[in-house]
Structure formats: structure tokens, C-alpha cells
Amino acid sequence: MKYLEEIDGVGAKTCLFLNKLGINDIADLISYYPKRYDVLKRSDMRNVVDGEKVIIDGVVDGQPTIINLSRKLKKIIFRICNDKNMYNVAVYNQIYLFNELKYGMSIIVIGKYERLKNTIVASEVRIGRLPDVPKIESIYYTTSGLSRKMLAKYINKALNGDFECIDYIPSYLVERYNFRDKKWSTFQIHNPDSVISLKRARQRIKYEELFLYLLKINFMKYLNGNDKNAVVKEFSDNDVETFISSFDFELTSDQIITVNSIKSDLRSERRMNRLIQGDVGSGKTIVAFIASYMNYLAGYQTALMVPTEILAYQHYENAIKLFSKFGVNCALLTSSISKKERKELYDEIRLGKIDLIIGTQSLIQDDLQYFNLGLIITDEQHRFGVRQREKLKNKGVFPDVISMSATPIPRTYALSIYGDMDVSNIKTKPKGRKEVITYFKKNNDILDVLRMMKKEVDLGHQIYVIAPSIDGEDNSIDNVKKLTEKMTLAFGKICKIGMVHGKLDNDEKNKIMNEFEMGKISILISTTVIEVGVNVPNASMIVIFNANLFGLSTLHQLRGRVGRGDIQSYCILLASDSCERLKMLERCSDGFEISEYDFLNRGEGDLFGVKQSGDAVFKLANIKKDYKMLLRVRDDVDEFMNVLFESSEYQYILNYLGDCCDLS
Ligand code: ADP
Ligand code: MG
């Protein structure tokens, strides 16, 4: 069996419903696992407490009655006799039961027991009796038009047919973990004999999902390693050294290691696909510029794509400063330039007059053509979707790719999200960088906070103030507009105060950011628009209101806005109540450790500020919950890669990999 129509009773209409659930063939149907399980077990009515969920069976006593509560809301009431005890049953809006239920009929009632009224408010009434031994029932998520019961029926018909079920776990691993086979496991997941069997079956299926996933990544990496399509870029070490020695600082050891990796990536005939992870301020951007310079020396264009216009502008300014003596032509491409300017810029890019193009999403507009794009760098890359990255990639002739992220993530997780990338970590801090001192304060201590702020302003330093929203009704949440008023009241007489947020137009935003950078504005109140990349070394304090509303990684990034010069800097986290998560930030300043903590304690969506659908590739496994298994699978896959090509036994796995990985 392969197609849904081969199942008895499944016609075109049912197929449509199944398609809606993402089920397109028998294989999909069989791996459409239950959303959850219920245990069908007779409740001991002597021991139930008020409001508890109960399951009982018995016979209908007397005729049901309909009560019209309103035009839309109807209730059916009847009595059920169980073991000589009588209970009232109330069911809402399942009017069909009125005709179905007959005096003396055996039924099962599932619902909540209200002791005072001796009534079960039923969520479900079924005809029949409960099994003598408790039964585990699979509950499927379905769509209107297709009942759970019907869906379960089709799944079971498929399971009992002759479906193809290939075991992808190599036999020596099956032995190592004492797994049952896949067919058994699939059966058990849909119709568990016991909780123990169910657990065992789930482990088996999860393991295979993770195994195949990591195997695909490793296989792609292997192919990539043999992908000789990339351009070999030629440039001299001396020229690169001259550029690096023009900086007024020395590279940290991790920066040097990363630069060297990039150097050999560019020179190799294999395409570079490298992720650079490091805390804000660890010096990723400068590494990106060095890479751009190597690429320039080799004669190719570089595109640097960032998530916000503010950041694009800042990178552009830095690039001009760095490259002015080195002949690299830089351009800034944002959505705020005029049509005429855009056309001119497009022409220059197409003709190869621009070497480094910095911009936002505008870098991937369809009508923009490059002369010879050789390197693509995305900053804070997790903010771009995979599709956008692909779009950019397609614009060059086999361009090399560097992605930068200030939200470091555990290695395995990076692997599972970014797939076949190589990863460079920049952990060492630039010399002389002072640790930012972090304080957690309760809202009641606001006077303390204001005093601390005053001290910094008096020293001529600058301050960021962050609020979670721009404006809003909710009085318990501070917003940018209200805070601006308050700060003006407190500090308006001694210094200039500015405000930026996402609703301002770009000109205004840039103007204010500029004034802050120039030191004209002392206190800048903003939303998280400044979250990424902004660099003002004279800023020595960041005060974050309602800090509890942000993810730890976001807070850590925000904290990275300060401590960029050689002055002692502070981060103040404000919240109404004491909070363990926030206290963790007082003690810890290592972005890798923080993301690990975040990762293990919160949903992975929060980790990135945007929802990652990393888990959508798994039907059963969950990267966070099954993290330990993932680590084990990773080692197993590494081991397996050594034998994959050795034995004909694994030919079917190679076929599978060839089918899923695009070999073109
Ligand atoms: P990131 O992109 O990782 O947030 P940046 O590259 O923007 O960090 O660096 C932050 C600041 O530190 C910049 O002003 C940069 O010039 C400076 N910097 C980078 N590397 C070093 C270093 N090795 N020593 C001293 N300062 C550095
Ligand atoms: Mg940066």
C-alpha cells in the first residue's frame, strides 16, 4: 500500500481532509502519531474528590431531557446507574445524544464530577462498556469534517495493510540500545499495550528521527567537502597583515583563529559555509571586514546583510573608516534612498564598481544584480529566514557564506538549525575590556537607580534606557513614551534626552542615533530596536525596565551595548518581583553559558526572539526535551559515518540520503 485511496472507505473527500492534516500518502498516515493518550480506566467513585475527572460505565436510567439555556446553548440531562449508585449527567450541546440514548442502554461517561450536585459534567458519552483492564487510548489531532474516531480507523486499516516499513537504524546500534523493530514500534505508538511498551516504542522512533536528521547533516557536510565548485580565491598574506596592522588594537586569539579558518576556506576549492558565534562586542564585525578585504583582494564583491537600517548605517560608517586607505569601494543600500540614487547604485553594483555593499533586506531584491558576488555575510543571521539566505546565495557564482550571531547556541543545537555549517566561536574578550557589572533591582528601588544614573551623567557618560513597548494601555508595563516623560522630569534640566523606537521614520531614527553617537544626547530611551550591534563606547549604563519580559539572551545582548570602551559599565535590570532568571545574569556574563541556561529552562522559540521551526522536522522528537538523546545520537552518527561507505549493508541508507539531499 502506498496511496491513501487504497484504504477501504477512503475516497476523494476523505483524502482532502487528510491532506489538510499534512497526510498525503500511507507513509504520512502511519507516521501521523497521536497528539496524546488517555487511559480508559474505571474510576473508583468512593474516592473521587470534587471537580476530578472521572470515567464510569453503567446504564441509562429514564429518558434524557433537553434544557434550552439560550438559543445557542442547550443541555441534555439524564441519570446513569452504576453499581447501584445513581449519578446525574449533564452534557452541553451534543444534541444528537438525545435521540441516541435509550432507557437501559449501556454507556460510558467521561467528565468532571461535581460532588455537591452528584453530577458528572460529561465531555464525552459513548455507547458500550469499559474494558476490564485499563486501556490506553490514542487521541489524534484532527480537522473538522473528520472525526478522531474515523481518523484512528483509517490509521489502523493502514497499519494492518502491507505498508513499507524500513528500519534505518544500523543493526549494531539496534543491538546496542536493545531497540524493538520499527514495525512493532509503529504499532505500539498507535495502539499501546502498556505504558512500558509505549515508552519503548517512542524511544525507538525518536532515535531514528534524530539519527536520520543528523546523518543527513553529516552527509551534506561530506558532500560539501567534496563540492569543488567554489572559486579558489587568491590573495597574499602580506596584504591581509598590512590591513590588520592598520587597526589601533590587536586581534584576540579567537579572532586570529577565526580569521585563519576563513582564510583557508576562501582559498580552498570548497565552498565556505561558516557560522561565527560570539557575544556582542567580542569583535565579530571586524573579522567580517577582514574577510571582506581578503575577498576584495581576490577580486570579488562582498555583500553584508544586517537586520536593521541603524546597524547597516553603523557598519557602513565603520567600513568607510577602515577601508579608506585600502581602495575598497563601499556602498550603503537601504530602503530609504531615492529611486534615482537606487538606480545609480544598482548600475555601479552591476558594473563591479562597488566592492562592499552593506544593507538590509534590500540586498536580496530581485532586480539587484551583482557583478561578481563572491562572499555573502549575514549579521545576526538567525533573524533571516533560510529562504532569504538561499535567495542571496543564488545571486552569486558559488559565493562563500559567513553568518554571524551574537546569540551563541549550544553546538548540537546550532548543528540542528544551521545544518551543514562550520562553526567558529569567539570567546576571548578584547584586551582591556571591563566586565559589565549587573544589578537586579526591584521597581521599589527606582530612587536608587535614578541616583546611579545621575552619577554616570555627572561623569559625562551616556545611558540607554529600555522599555518593552512604545506606548500602551497596560499600566503595569513601562513604555518608551511614559519613560521619556519621567526621565525628562528627572534629568531634563541637566542633560539632553532622546527617544527612538520602531514607529519613527528612518530619518528621524538616524538623526537621534547620530546625536547619541556624537554624545549630544545623554540618555536614550528606546525599545529593543537598538538590540543589535550599536556601538557607543561612551555609554556606561543600560537600564532595562520590565526585564522579566525579555529572554535571557536578549537581555545579555542588550547588556552588550555597554562596556564597549574602557570605562566601567553597568547594567540594571528592573522588575516588580524577584526573579531567579534575572539573578542568573548578575553572576554570569558568558553568552554561551546563558544561552545554555535559556535553552534548558525555556522554550527554544524564546532563545531566538523569533519562532524557529527547528522541531517541525521531527514528528516525535523534540530537540529540547530529547537533548540528551540528541547528544548520544550525534556521537553515534559520527561513528557511523566511518562505516557508511564501507559496507554494502548500508547501501539502502545511502540511497535514502541521496534522495533527500539535493545532489545537483
Ligand atoms: P561584535 O560585532 O562582535 O558585536 P564588533 O566587531 O562590533 O563586535 O566590536 C566591538 C568593538 O570592539 C568595536 O569598536 C571594535 O572596533 C572593537 N574591537 C574588535 N576587536 C577588538 C580587539 N581585538 N581589541 C580591541 N577592540 C576590538
Ligand atoms: Mg555585531
pLDDT greater than 60 at residue 386: no
Q: What average pLDDT score do residues 521-529 get?
A: 89
Q: What local confidence, expressed as pLDDT, does residue 96 receive? A: 85
Whole-number Å distance, alpha carbon 239 to ligand 1 midpoint, is 21
Whole-number Å distance, alpha carbon 285 to ligand 1 midpoint, is 7
**How confident is the model over 556-589, as pLDDT tens digits?**
888 988 988 889 999 999 998 888 889 999 999 8
pLDDT greater than 50 at residue 609: no
Give the phi and the psi of residue 559 in degrees, each rounded to 5: -60, -30
Whole-number Å distance, alpha carbon 283 to ligand 1 midpoint, is 4
Beta strands in 511-589 (DSSP E): 523-526, 539-544, 570-575
Minimum CA distance residue for ligand 1 atom 22: 430
Position 221 confidence tier, pLDDT thresholds 50, 70, 90:
confident
Position 604 confidence tier, pLDDT thresholds 50, 70, 90:
very low
User: Which cell numbers in the block locate residue 276?
Assistant: 561565527
**How confident is the model over 462-480, as pLDDT tens digits?**
999 999 888 877 777 788 9
Whole-number Å distance, alpha carbon 326 to ligand 2 midpoint, is 22
Q: What local confidence, expressed as pLDDT, does residue 602 receive? A: 55
Whole-number Å distance, alpha carbon 281 to ligand 2 midpoint, is 7
Atom number, ligand 1, closest to the C-alpha of residue 255:
23
Whole-number Å distance, alpha carbon 456 to ligand 2 midpoint, is 25
Q: How far apart are CA 58 and CA 84, in angstroms?
A: 9
Atom number, ligand 1, closest to the C-alpha of residue 426:
3
Q: Give the type of residue at 304.
A: L
CA angle 640, 646, 652 (to 5 degrees): 75
Q: What average pLDDT score do residues 170-198 get?
A: 94
Q: Which ligand is nearest to the CA of 282?
A: 1
Q: How far apart are CA 437 and CA 587, in angstroms?
A: 9
Q: What local confidence, expressed as pLDDT, does residue 36 receive? A: 87
Position 335 confidence tier, pLDDT thresholds 50, 70, 90:
confident
Mean pLDDT, all residues of the chain? 87
Q: What local confidence, expressed as pLDDT, does residue 610 receive? A: 30
Q: Which ligand is nearest to the CA of 533?
A: 2
Q: What average pLDDT score do residues 177-195 get?
A: 94
Q: Which ligand is nearest to the CA of 537?
A: 1
Minimum CA distance residue for ligand 1 atom 24: 430
Mutate to test the pocket of ligand 1, among 535, 561, 562, 564 (most ligand atoms within 8 A of CB): 535
Q: Is 212 helix (H, G, I), strand (E, B) or coil?
A: helix
User: Which cell numbers in the block locate residue 132?
Assistant: 476490564
pLDDT greater than 70 at residue 432: yes
Mutate to test the pocket of ligand 1, among 282, 285, 304, 566 (most ligand atoms within 8 A of CB): 285
Minimum CA distance residue for ligand 1 atom 5: 283
**How confident is the model over 533-551, as pLDDT tens digits?**
577 899 999 999 999 888 8
User: Which cell numbers in the block locate residue 483?
Assistant: 519613560
Whole-number Å distance, alpha carbon 477 to ligand 1 midpoint, is 34
**How confident is the model over 31-47, as pLDDT tens digits?**
999 988 888 889 988 88
Q: What local confidence, expressed as pLDDT, does residue 589 receive? A: 85
- Which residues are paired to 164 by β-bridges? none
Q: 494-506 in b/e burial notation, b at 16+ Cβ within 10 A?
A: ebebbbbbeebee
Give 400-422 as a 3 state SS string: EEEEEECCCCCHHHHHHHHCCCE
Atom number, ligand 1, closest to the C-alpha of residue 247:
16
In the numeric block, the cell 537581555 is attached to 555
In the numeric block, the cell 528612518 is attached to 506
Whole-number Å distance, alpha carbon 280 to ligand 1 midpoint, is 9
pLDDT greater than 70 at residue 375: yes
Q: What average pLDDT score do residues 496-514 get?
A: 88
Q: What local confidence, expressed as pLDDT, does residue 471 receive? A: 83
Position 608 confidence tier, pLDDT thresholds 50, 70, 90:
very low
Q: Highest mean pLDDT range out of 302-316, 395-409, 593-607, 612-626?
A: 302-316
**How confident is the model over 123-168, as pLDDT tens digits?**
999 999 998 888 898 989 888 889 888 999 999 999 998 888 899 9
Please tell me the pTM assigned to this model.
Answer: 0.62
Q: What local confidence, expressed as pLDDT, does residue 456 receive? A: 97
Minimum CA distance residue for ligand 1 atom 11: 281
Q: What average pLDDT score do residues 184-191 get?
A: 96
Neighbours of 396 (CB within 10 A): 20
Q: Which ligand is nearest to the CA of 252?
A: 1
Residues 6 or more apart whose CB falls under 8 angstroms from that of 642 comprise none
Position 661 confidence tier, pLDDT thresholds 50, 70, 90:
low
Q: Pairing relation of β-strands 53-68 and 74-82?
A: antiparallel
Neighbours of 641 (CB within 10 A): 15
Whether residue 309 contacts residue 277, with contact meaning beta carbons closer than 8 Å, is answered with no
Whether residue 592 contacts residue 427, with contact meaning beta carbons closer than 8 Å, is answered with yes
Position 293 confidence tier, pLDDT thresholds 50, 70, 90:
very high
Q: What local confidence, expressed as pLDDT, does residue 611 receive? A: 32
Atom number, ligand 1, closest to the C-alpha of residue 533:
4
Q: What local confidence, expressed as pLDDT, does residue 615 receive? A: 41
Q: How far apart are CA 664 and CA 661, in angstroms?
A: 9
pLDDT greater than 80 at residue 532: no
Position 320 confidence tier, pLDDT thresholds 50, 70, 90:
very high
Q: Which of 251, 313, 259, 314 is nearest to 291 (CA)?
A: 259
Mutate to test the pocket of ligand 1, among 253, 286, 358, 425 (most ligand atoms within 8 A of CB): 286
Q: Pairing relation of β-strands 301-305 and 373-379?
A: parallel
Q: Highest mean pLDDT range out of 224-238, 474-488, 518-532?
A: 474-488
Position 414 confidence tier, pLDDT thresholds 50, 70, 90:
low
Rg of the Cα atoms in the chain: 31
Minimum CA distance residue for ligand 1 atom 20: 283
Q: What average pLDDT score do residues 319-338 get?
A: 92
**How confident is the model over 35-94, as pLDDT tens digits?**
888 888 899 888 888 989 999 999 999 889 999 888 888 899 999 998 789 999 999 988
Residues with CB under 6 A from ligand 1: 249-252, 255, 278, 280-286, 406, 430-431, 535, 564
Whole-number Å distance, alpha carbon 534 to ligand 2 midpoint, is 8
Q: What average pLDDT score do residues 237-266 get?
A: 96
pLDDT greater than 60 at residue 20: yes
CA distances from 51 to 38, 45, 55, 114, 373 (A): 18, 12, 13, 5, 66
Whole-number Å distance, alpha carbon 581 to ligand 2 midpoint, is 25
Q: Which ligand is nearest to the CA of 258?
A: 1
Share of the chain above pLDDT 70, in %: 90
